[in-house]
Amino acid sequence: MEYDFSKLNDREFEALGASVIGKILSKRIETFKAGKDGGVDGRFWIGKKREGIIQCKHYVETPYNSLISKLKSEEAAKVKKLNPEKYIFITSQKLSRHNKQEIQKIFHPYIKREDDIFGKEDLSDFLTKKENQDIVEQNLKLWITSASVLDLIHNNAIKGRSESTIREIEENAHKYAITENHIKGLKLLKEKNVVIMTGEPGIGKTTLADNLALFYIAKGYEFCDIEESISEAESIFREKEKKKILFYCDDFLGSNLYDAISNKKDSHIVKFINRVCRDNSKKIILTSRTNILNKAYSISHKFQNGKIRDNEFLLKVENLSKIDKAQILYNHIYHSNLNKEYIDVIYQYKNYNKIITHRNFNPRIIEFVTDNIRIGSVLPVNYWEYVKNSLDNPQDIWADYFQNQTDDCVRALIFLTVYNNGRISEEELRRSYNTFIKIHTVNLGDQTDKSFESVRKLAAKSLLNRNNISENSYEYVLFNPSIADFVLNTYCNEIELISNVLKSLETETSLRNLDTITIFNKINKQSSKKIQENLFEYFFERKIEEEDWDFLILLSYQDFFNENLNKQIEYFLKTLIEADNPKGNNLCELLSILTDFDPEIEFKDYKFLYNFIEDFLNEDELIDLLNFIDKFDINDKNILSQVENHTELYLEDIIKNNDLDIDFSNYISVNSFPDYDLDISGVESEISSILDSSLEYFNKNVLEKIEFSTSNIISSLDIDDMAISYLETQDYEYDRDMGGSYNSGTSNQDDIDAIFER
Q: Residues 460, 464, 469, 470: what is their CA dihedral angle, to the nearest 10 degrees?
A: -30
Residues in the chain: 758
- Residue 480 makes CB contacts below 8 A (sequence gap 6+) with 364, 367, 368
Alpha-helix residue ranges (DSSP H) falling in 63-204: 64-70, 76-82, 97-106, 120-128, 133-137, 140-145, 147-155, 161-172, 180-192
Distances (CA, A) of 213 to 3, 44, 173, 416: 20, 37, 11, 29
pLDDT of residue 577: 94
Which helix (H) or strand (E) element contains residue 510? helix 508-519
Cα–Cα distance between 231 and 621 in angstroms, integer? 14
pLDDT of residue 610: 94
Are 89 and 117 in contact by the 8 Å Cβ rule? The answer is: yes
Nearest to 115 by CA among 230, 211, 20, 248: 20
- Residue 232 makes CB contacts below 8 A (sequence gap 6+) with 224, 226
Cβ count within 10 A of residue 269: 24
Amino acid, res. 255: S
Cα–Cα distance between 275 and 193 in angstroms, integer? 10
pLDDT of residue 728: 67
Nearest to 40 by CA among 127, 132, 110, 137: 110
The angle at the Cα of 279, spanning 274 to 280, to the nearest 5 degrees, equals 125
CA 678 to chain CA centroid, nearest Å: 43
- The CA-based diameter of the chain, rounded to the nearest angstrom, is 102
Cα–Cα distance between 465 and 459 in angstroms, integer? 8
Cβ count within 10 A of residue 651: 21
pLDDT of residue 288: 83
| Residue 5: strand, helix, or coil | helix
The CATH fold assigned to 142-319 is Rossmann fold (3.40.50)
Q: What are phi and psi of 627, to 5 degrees?
A: -65, -40
The two beta strands, 194-199 and 50-57, are unpaired
Could you say which residues of the chain have pLDDT below 50? Answer: 256-258, 261-263, 731-738
297: buried, middle or exposed (CB in 10 Å: 19+, 13-18, 0-12)? Answer: middle
pLDDT of residue 480: 80
What beta strand segments (E) does 618-717 contain?
668-672, 675-678
Distances (CA, A) of 365 to 339, 369, 387: 19, 6, 9
Beta-ladder partners of 674: none
CB-side neighbour CA atoms (13 Å) of 1: 19
Nearest to 684 by CA among 659, 648, 715: 715
Residue 463 is given by DSSP the state T
Are 236 and 245 in contact by the 8 Å Cβ rule? The answer is: yes
Each residue of 27-42: pLDDT tens digit?
A: 999 887 655 556 788 9
- Residue 587 makes CB contacts below 8 A (sequence gap 6+) with 612, 613, 617, 621, 624, 625
Cα–Cα distance between 152 and 148 in angstroms, integer? 6
Cα–Cα distance between 198 and 291 in angstroms, integer? 9
- Residue 421 makes CB contacts below 8 A (sequence gap 6+) with 255, 256, 258, 509, 510, 512, 513, 516
Q: At what angle do helices 230-239 and 266-278 cross, to 10 degrees?
A: 30
Amino acid, res. 537: E
Are 365 and 394 in contact by the 8 Å Cβ rule? The answer is: yes
Q: What is the pTM of this model?
A: 0.76
Note the CATH number of domain 398-523.
1.10.10
50-57 sheet: strands from edge to edge: 42-46, 50-57, 86-91, 117-118
Q: What are phi and psi of 325, to 5 degrees?
A: -65, -40
Cα–Cα distance between 560 and 469 in angstroms, integer? 37
Alpha-helix residue ranges (DSSP H) falling in 219-350: 230-239, 266-278, 290-299, 301-305, 322-334, 340-347
pLDDT of residue 731: 47
CA 623 to chain CA centroid, nearest Å: 31
Cα–Cα distance between 523 and 502 in angstroms, integer? 14
Domain boundaries, the chain: 5-137, 142-319, 322-397, 398-523
The CATH fold assigned to 5-137 is Trna Endonuclease; Chain: A, domain 1 (3.40.1350)
Q: What are phi and psi of 500, to 5 degrees?
A: -70, -35
Report the chain's terminal Cα–Cα distance, integer Å: 32
